[in-house]
Amino acid sequence: MMLNKGDTVVYPQHGAGRVLGIVEQEFQGAPRLYYRIRFLHNDTSVMVPVDAVDKTGIRPVISEPEVEEVIGVLRDDPTRMPTDWNRRVKHNHEKIKTGDVFEVADVVRNLALRDHEKGLSTGEKQMFGRVKRILASELMYAKHMAEDESLRFLDGILAEICARPGCAG
């Protein structure tokens, strides 16, 4: 996949960001081209080798119509999760690593519902905060919103699903 300055992309472990450009740097004595990508939601930048971009799982940000599909996943019933918190963390981590926005939305929904119903372990709370920011960062670019606006949008959907009948609390 060829990226251009200004493209918005998702890096599975970091969330959505914007390509700032292509820079050349020396690596092991030879020049190498890198994409410089900046992530607003956590104020970081990464350098990704141009020739390794496909291996990283980087993909374009979803389109605005796909946002409705993500909202549909968030509003779906929860998926079965391991009862042991350690296995849940591993299971959710594997889903997040895929970089698939629908898998990420599934994790966000499941953790939101579990937090509302039973509470989360410390590790799950940290994961929930991180994965929520990752999803909100993609929604921010897909819906052309400000960062805080996308977090409020996502929190509104999560509050809605946790308030529906049958959701203990």
Neighbours of 44 (CB within 10 A): 12
Could you tell me the domains of the chain? 8-60 (2.40.10.170), 64-163 (1.20.58.1290)
Pairing of strands 44-49, 30-39: antiparallel
Calculate helix-pair angle for 122-142, 147-163, nearest 10 degrees: 120
Per-residue confidence band for 167, with pLDDT thresholds at 50, 70 and 90 = low
> How much of the chain exceeds pLDDT 90, in percent?
70
Can you read off the two tokens belonging to residue 11? 């890096």
What pTM did the predictor assign?
0.89
Rounded CA separation 85/148 (Å): 30
Cα 140 from Cα 138, distance rounded (Å): 5
